[in-house]
Structure 1
Amino acid sequence: MHYPLSATLFAFAILTSQAPAAATVFRCTDEAGRITYAQQGCPGGSDIQKQQAYNPSPGSGKAVKMATTNPRSTRKTTPSSDQLTIVAERHDGCGNRISGGERREAIIKQRILSGMTRSDVESALGRPSSVVSTNGRTRYRYEKSEGRARTVTFDEKGCVTGKR
């Protein structure tokens, strides 16, 4: 039986795409002995160990050690100057006035906090019944079935403003 070239390439792509995923992670030990794991490296003054993390596909049938330490890759970092470098900080556009944990808890409990974004409010309360924009401020109005309404006001950056 002869298969078209596209079907053969498709089958080959499916078979080769299911290779197990492996990644290199860094095991960081600080002066106090606290251990953290990172994908981007360790802060200055930490002992670093590179580890290979192997994530087998489910149902492979045998137990697999999840991380192994390469003894040749262990080294001590030297603290650099007093300059602070932040790697991967989230900027929500509202000045990061609330933490990620506070944001998640507020969305789950359908509470609105000053500093939340429009998408946060829509995640918590859904789409508004009406939207009114005046003088750079936007108001979301949510009508409830009991005849009551809830209004959320955003500043010109799209951030929830506090009560005055």
Structure 2
Amino acid sequence: MHRLLRAVSCAFLLCPSPLLLASTVFRCEDANGHVTFTLQGCPTEQAQQLQNADNPTPGNDKPVPLAKTAKGARSSKTSKKAKASELVVVGEQQDGCGNRVTGSARRAAMIQKEVRAGMTRADVESTLGKPDKISSQNGQMRYQYRDNEGRSRQVSFDENGCVRGKR
């Protein structure tokens, strides 16, 4: 019994607790003082600092007071300043095709079973399924699809695996 208790306590100590999980992110500041946070690291021209990102579960620590609101109406100077700020996208995923078809346009094309220039092979296979025939010539791949009525459809890819536009 004593040996079993010791084994269970050792196993408990070796398993990481989900409460201890946190992430480290990069805090990037450019020459103009704009600050961005990313998991991928900062560009060489920006100052980089490591920042611990810890999100404790509610009820495990001291209460955090809510932000105090300014009394009175917002001044027009404050609202102009808020409008002047711009959105910075950090760590955008590259699809290898120049991100020519992204977001809602990609989803709409897939739902309507359309193939658009700039889609990847994975996008085409997700839209139309596995091709009936694959051919390759000069580093360029071609998928051929045939439906139940005997009609055929061809999709051509460039050397990067992106759907080529019509000439």
TM-score, normalised to structure 2, is 0.54
Greater fraction of residues in helix: 2
Partner residue, 2:13: 12
Please, which of 123, 126, 129 is the counterpart of residue 129 of structure 2? Answer: 126
How many angstroms apart in 2 are the aligned matches of 1:110 and 1:45?
46
1:115 and 2:115 aligned = no
Structure (1 or 2) with the larger CA radius of gyration: 2
Distance 1:99 1:13, change over 3 A: same
Aligned length: 130
How many angstroms apart in 1 are the aligned matches of 2:105 and 2:124?
13
Greater fraction of residues in strand: 1
User: Within 5 A, what are the aligned runs for 1:141-156?
Assistant: 141-156=144-159
Structure 2 contact 28–35 (Cα < 8 Å) conserved: no
Q: Which runs of 5+ in 2 are unaligned?
A: 37-50, 68-87
Partner residue, 2:103: 100
User: Within 5 A, what are the aligned runs for 1:15-164?
Assistant: 16-19=16-19, 40=27, 44=32, 54=55, 56=57, 87-164=90-167
Partner residue, 2:46: none
Amino acid at match of 1:11: F
Structure 1 contact 53–67 (Cα < 8 Å) conserved: no
Give aligned-pair identity as a percent: 40
How many angstroms apart in 1 are the aligned matches of 2:65 and 2:147?
52
How many angstroms apart in 2 are the aligned matches of 1:55 and 1:41?
24
> Residue 67 of structure 1: CA displacement?
9.9
Structure 1 contact 107–124 (Cα < 8 Å) conserved: yes
Aligned-residue RMSD, C-alpha: 4.3
> Residue 149 of structure 1: CA displacement?
2.6
> Residue 5 of structure 1: CA displacement?
7.0
How many angstroms apart in 2 are the aligned matches of 1:61 and 1:18?
15
Structure 1 contact 128–140 (Cα < 8 Å) conserved: yes
How many angstroms apart in 1 are the aligned matches of 2:141 and 2:33?
48
Q: Which runs of 5+ in 1 are unaligned?
A: 26-38, 70-84
Structure 1 contact 53–68 (Cα < 8 Å) conserved: no
Distance 1:19 1:13, change over 3 A: farther
How many angstroms apart in 2 are the aligned matches of 1:11 and 1:55?
21
